[in-house]
């Protein structure tokens, strides 16, 4: 990587790593817990990419593909949109692929761990930090997954980009949604995505993981995590990677000597490498075995609550909840 590219990348990483203060949290340790910077800086956009009025960043080259990247809790897409410049500067071959980058904003929701204060978020958060026993928000997760699926449908209908050429990714809470959208309880006829990227995220609904064989076989995963992450604990990566690998997912797990941040040259370079590998034509990989029964057994009460949450997630994901409301 030459000096000019490194300086460009450094300026963007500073943007991504800087904390934001969109809210006044009830607990001071919650400040900037999940977010990256939302500060927008002026930078030259590569000639291969343009931004349209709908917020899509489109490349003007040959093969069509898309990257949907979800920001973290309390953040906005602004800082992450600089990836459209950085990734091709690291792997120039990405500029030769007709990539549409989409950085959707999360809705403003009340966050329980923040005293119910509203902030940009993909689903509610009940525990702090996010450990292996953190409570899930199945309804919020399902609604965010459906939002991702709507973007995928829009890309296919308006841009002609097949779902098999779409990479779903995210940072922190956005990474959790990306994992759900790519793997868990997908519809039987759903087309597997080209890949999934989870940066410092976690695997929700982990005790009721139901991965379709096609998604496991065809959607590789990059999971990058800081070894000193005290917000989304590092054990989340170890546990989640093991669960997904046991289900047959091809996982590339990367770790870095950082906390809950994306300010590491190597991490962004790994992301660029992964995108290049999954968006280039590749030979089919052999099938991997499905996972065995879940390896965790909590108390009966917790299991019953988890079953209810799993059912609620499934109902929300397929739209039955809205149908039942309309009928009542």
43 in Cβ contact with 53 (< 8 Å): no
Q: pLDDT digits over 53-87, tens only?
A: 444 555 443 479 999 999 999 999 998 999 999 99
155 in Cβ contact with 141 (< 8 Å): no
Q: Is 260 designated active site?
A: yes
Rounded to the nearest 10°, the torsion over CA 181, 165, 45, 50 is -100
Q: Which of 59, 260, 270, 291 is catalytic?
A: 260
Distance CA 264, CA 270 (A): 10
Q: Is 172 designated active site?
A: yes
Residue 56: per-residue pLDDT: 56
Q: Which of 35, 172, 200, 218 is catalytic?
A: 172
Q: pLDDT digits over 6-31, tens only?
A: 444 444 443 444 333 233 333 333 33
Q: Which of 229, 270, 291, 306 is catalytic?
A: 229
Query: What percent of the chain lies above the pLDDT cut of 90?
Result: 60
Tokens of 43: 């930078």
Closest-CA residue to 317 (of 136, 126, 138): 138
Q: Is 162 designated active site?
A: no
Q: What is the pTM of this model?
A: 0.75
Residue 63: per-residue pLDDT: 78
Distances (CA, A) of 118 to 73, 112, 124, 138, 144: 11, 9, 10, 19, 16
Q: Could you tell me which residue, 260 or 58, shows the higher pLDDT?
A: 260
Mean pLDDT, residues 157-171 taken together: 97
């Amino acid at each position: 990587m030459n000096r000019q590219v490194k300086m460009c990348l450094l300026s963007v990483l500073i943007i991504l790593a800087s904390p934001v203060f969109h809210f006044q949290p009830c607990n001071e340790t919650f400040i900037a817990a999940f977010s990256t910077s939302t500060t927008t800086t002026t930078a030259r956009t590569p000639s291969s990419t343009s931004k349209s009025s709908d917020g899509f960043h489109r490349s003007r080259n040959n093969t069509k593909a898309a990257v949907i990247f979800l920001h973290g809790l309390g953040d906005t897409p602004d800082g992450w949109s600089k990836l459209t410049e950085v990734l091709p500067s690291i792997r120039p071959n990405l500029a030769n692929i007709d990539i549409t980058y989409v950085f959707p904003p999360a809705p403003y929701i009340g966050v329980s761990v923040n005293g119910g204060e509203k902030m940009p978020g993909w689903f509610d958060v009940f525990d702090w930090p996010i450990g292996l026993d953190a409570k899930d928000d199945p309804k919020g997760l399902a609604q965010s997954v459906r939002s991702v699926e709507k973007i995928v449908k829009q890309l296919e209908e308006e841009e002609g980009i097949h779902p098999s050429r779409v990479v779903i990714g995210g940072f922190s809470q956005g990474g959790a949604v990306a994992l759900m959208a790519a793997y868990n309880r997908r519809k039987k006829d759903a087309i597997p995505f080209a890949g999934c990227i989870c940066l410092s995220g976690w695997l929700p609904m982990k005790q009721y993981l139901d991965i379709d064989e096609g998604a496991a076989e065809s959607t590789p995963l990059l999971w990058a995590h800081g070894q000193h992450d005290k917000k989304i604990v590092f054990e989340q990566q170890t546990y989640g990677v093991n669960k997904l690998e046991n289900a047959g997912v091809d996982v590339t797990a990367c770790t870095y000597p950082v906390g809950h941040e994306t300010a590491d040259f190597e991490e962004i370079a790994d992301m660029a490498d992964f995108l290049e590998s999954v968006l280039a034509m590749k030979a089919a990989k052999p099938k991997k075995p499905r996972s065995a029964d879940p390896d965790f057994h909590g108390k009966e009460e917790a299991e019953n609550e988890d079953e209810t949450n799993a059912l609620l997630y499934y109902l929300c994901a397929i739209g039955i909840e809205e149908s039942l409301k309309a009928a009542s």
